[in-house]
Every structure is written in structure tokens, then in C-alpha cells.
Amino acid sequence: MMIVMVIRPPSFIPLPSQPNPHETMLHVGLTGSIGSGKSTAAAQFEQLGIPVYYADDAAKRLMTDSAPLREAIEREFGPGIYLDGVLQRKELAARAFASDESTQRINALVHPAVHDDFVAWFAQQSAPYAVREAAILFESGTYQNCDAVVLVEAPLNLRVQRVMQRSGLTESEVRQRIARQWPDAQKRALTTPKDFILDNSGSEDALRAQVVAVDAELRRRGA
């Protein structure tokens, strides 16, 4: 476990209705690139009794269940995104991720909805801290709302192998997906002394030992 001292950018503007960072329960962000093992770390936090909000799962749910979000997506990307109320994910991906500009447009619709959903979820929790697991915690700027961030890292080649084994994608396809994400160094540069960097280049037990250590420190801070 490593602590990196980097000054947080001064341009942060708090999102409306964000959890109050001065409340007793800490808001902890958990992130990592594809194949890093952030989902494994999230499950380990849950095993320690910590509530975890899965932002990617929430986004998928809200794009189906939230009428205002469905309507906004259809207005932005045109008809055919929903058929009989069912989200056509391949069609949305073809339109929303065709360019950086269109990706920013879909993110501008989905991220605020996920954030408000998280705020409502967070208010219902009772624990020393609650974890928000999100693939693009840094890219979206959400990390700036967190009392601490846990960044899970693993070597690139190991991440490629893990994703290939679980997804059936080719090495080229996996590397293309990785190329669309921020590199670990860019994320690490935004961490501060209160954050945690977990090395997941070893076994699941080795990762668990680090999660247990982070849990103990976060419980101390939230006491």
C-alpha cells in the first residue's frame, strides 16, 4: 500500500446534493482500470461489512428505470435507442461512443443521474464509511467528492490476460478498450496523501490483506 503526495487541482466545484464531507460517515471512492481487480476489492470490502455502491450497475439500471433519463437520451441520440421501453445497448453504444464528443454527451446525461441516485443511497447507509465503486471515478471528476480514494493497480499484461480469460475478447480488443481509459499514472497523479493505492499484481489473498489494512485505517478515520 502506497501513499502519493500530489496537490489536488484547484478547479473543483462541488456537485449539488453531494454527500457532506463533514458528516461522520466517510465517502470513499474505489476505482481501477479494466482488469485491475477493483470489483474483487469491492467484494472484499463488502465481506468486511462495508456498503458498496456500484456506479456502473446503477447507470445501467437508471437508463432503463428512470423516465427522465430515458427521455433525455432519446432526445439527444434520436429514436431507436429504446424499443418498447427496452434499451438497445448496441445501438446506444454505436451512437454514444462513436466519438469523444458523443461520449461526453452521454456522460453528461448519465453521470448526474447516477450521482443523485448515489446521494439517496448514501443517506440510507449506516457504517464507518461507504464505498462508491466506479470505473471512471477520476475521469468524471467524482473523486473530488470523496473523503478518500482507493485506486487498484495491476501490470498491463496481467490486466489483459485477466480480461481475455473472463470475457472471451481477443488481445487486440482488450487493448483497444484499455487504450480508451486513462493510464494508471494519470490517475495516480491525482491522488493525495489521504488516498490508497493497492497493488493487485499478486494473489487474491494478497489483495485482501491490503483491503483489510485500508479498512482498519478508514474505520479509524470515521470513528
All domains of the chain, ordered by start, with CATH? 25-51+128-223 (3.40.50.300), 57-124 (no CATH)
Q: How many CA atoms lie within 13 A of 120 on its CB side?
A: 8
Q: Is 188 exposed, middle or buried (0-12, 13-18, 19+ CB in 10 A)?
A: middle
Distances (CA, A) of 79 to 64, 108, 109: 15, 19, 16
SS3 of 132, please? strand
Distance CA 164, CA 14 (A): 38
pTM of the model: 0.82
The pLDDT value given to residue 15: 40
Quote the cell numbers at residue 202: 499478486
Give bridge partners of residue 153 from the DSSP assignment. Answer: 199
DSSP state of 147: S
pLDDT of residue 6: 32
Say what the pLDDT of residue 184 is.
Answer: 92
Q: How far is CA 39 from CA 52, 62, 151, in A?
A: 10, 20, 11
Q: Going residue by residue through the chain (223 aa), what tens digit of pLDDT does each one get? A: 443 333 233 233 334 344 544 457 899 999 999 999 999 999 999 999 999 999 999 999 999 999 999 999 999 988 888 988 888 988 888 887 777 788 888 888 998 999 999 999 999 999 999 999 998 899 888 999 999 999 999 999 999 999 999 988 889 888 888 887 899 999 999 999 999 999 999 999 999 999 999 999 999 998 7
Please enumerate in sequence order all residues whose Cβ is within 8 A of that of 206, keeping only pairs 6 or more positions apart, or say none.
199, 200
Whole-angstrom distance, CA of residue 28 vs CA of residue 195: 9
Grid-cell match 463533514, residue found: 22
pLDDT reported for residue 23: 57
All cell numbers assigned to 183: 493510464
Return the residue matching grid coordinates 470523496.
146
| Residue 222 backbone phi and psi in degrees, to 5 | -85, -5
Q: Classify burial at 143, counting beta carbons within 10 Å of its beta carbon; exposed 0-12, middle 13-18, buried 19 or more.
A: buried
Radius of gyration of the chain (CA): 18
- pLDDT computed for residue 178 by the predictor: 85
User: Among positive and negative, which fits the CA dihedral 1, 34, 15, 122?
Assistant: negative
Residue identified by cell 465481506 is 47
